[in-house]
Structure 1
Amino acid sequence: MSTSRPKGGSPRKFGFTQTGALLRGRIRDASASRGFAQSRLLTHWEEIAGPDAAAISRPVEVSYGRGGFGATLVLLTTGAQAPMLEMQKEQLRERVNSVYGYNAIARVRITQTAPTGFAEGQVAFTPRAKAKDPAPLPPEARKAVTEQVAPVSDPGLRQALERLGTNIISKSTS
């Protein structure tokens, strides 16, 4: 059985191509135009920054200075959240540099905007709400959890198991 070859000489591919493979070049080009050498910074922002910082911020740009002594990461947040983010700048810089694998980001700059932003046609910038605490358990369910973990001798492990049991029961009842 022979494969047909186009005039270029290489065998033709038959079948489906994954969507990620089709979009990879366009995503890389769009990311590079905004200074993001690795699009992982955009796509995994919550994992990199942590849930609290990711809920109130979004990476906007990585700009490189003329001297070449490291880049500046620009983060977008609302005016009310800026002071909280300002206190976390050094931790965020370290986390981002761990993604790049070297000390790529020298500075983090915070840009404030109104909740309804104007950048890139975005209608609104709404920080994500924090997850709610589970509803309190009825006394008989709490007693059952406490009895189950009572034989555990280590107090830290016992408390952790009690919290786990409480979370499991509260999620199954809601």
Structure 2
Amino acid sequence: MKPPTRSADFTKRSFKGFQRTSGLLQPQIRTVGEKRGFAVTRLLTHWAEIVGEATARIALPVNVSYAKDGLGATLTILTKGAYAPMLQADLPKIRERVNACYGYNAISKIRITQTAPTGFAEGQASFGPAPVREKPAPDPEMQAAAKKVAAPVHDDDLRHALEALAQNVLSRSKR
């Protein structure tokens, strides 16, 4: 038997130009999701859109377990202990939205699992967007040097752009 040639490998793949990242990652997301019981991976990838930003900040879907008799599944949601009562009040709304994602009444129960404020697995669970770091205030000496460099330019817009460029260049050389 002959080993496959290079041209045989190319016939398996279709080259249609650039592909979306979501299309390339979809098989990996599907396999990980199926291990946790998620038949619809959209629940994992679009959690914030499905349940809303406020709920997504305080809760994450962890697992979907199916009953033996086939009468609906149980969705397990992870949250910090202090948010559990607020989440408990929103369970009917969450169940309705998740079932809308599935397209049928797939989830019959939602179970809330609480964790420490840092999350389980030594803080690997994150419940919201990372805080935005503020830029440090520019050094007054650096600002003066940047103004001096751009001073001969008469056009205001160009002078401001050159000042910003000079500040960026001077701040990088200072590091």
TM-score by structure 2 length? 0.62
SS in 2 for 1:30: helix
Counterpart of 2:74 in structure 1 is 72
1:27 paired residue number: 29
Match of 1:123 in 2: 124
Which stretch has the larger CA shift, 10-19 or 34-43? 10-19
Distance 1:9 1:42, change over 3 A: closer
Instruction: Assess, with a 3 A threshold, how the Cα gap between structure 1 residues 11 and 76 changes in structure 2: closer, same or farther.
Output: closer
Q: What is the aligned-residue identity percentage?
A: 53
Would the aligned equivalents of 2:73 and 2:106 in 1 still touch at CA under 8 Å? yes
Kindly tell me: are residues 80 and 12 of structure 1, through their superposed partners in 2, closer, same or farther at Cα, counting changes over 3 Å?
A: closer
Which among 112, 115, 138 is matched to residue 113 of structure 1? 115
1:81 is paired with a residue whose SS is helix
Whichever residue aligns with residue 78 of structure 2, its letter is L
Task: Tell me which protein shows more helix as a share of its residues.
Answer: 2
Question: What are the ranges of 5 or more consecutive residues in structure 1 without an aligned counterpart?
Answer: 130-174
Work out the CA distance in 2 between the residues paired with 1:91 and 1:51.
13
CA offset digits 1:30-69 (Å, max 9, x no partner): 1111111111111111111112211211111111011111
How far the C-alpha of 1:117 sits from its partner, in A, is: 2.2
C-alpha spacing 1:68/1:11, structure 2 compared with 1 (3 Å) = closer
Worse overlay, 48-57 or 89-98: 48-57
2:57 match: secondary structure: helix
Given that residues 115 and 124 in structure 1 are in contact (C-alpha distance below 8 angstroms), is that contact kept between their aligned partners in structure 2? no
Q: Which letter does structure 2 place at the counterpart of 1:115?
A: P
Change (3 A) 1:6 1:67: same
- Once superposed, what is the RMSD of the aligned Cα atoms? 2.8
Structure 2 match to 1:95: 97
Q: What is aligned with 2:156?
A: none
The answer for the alignment partner of 1:162 in structure 2 is none
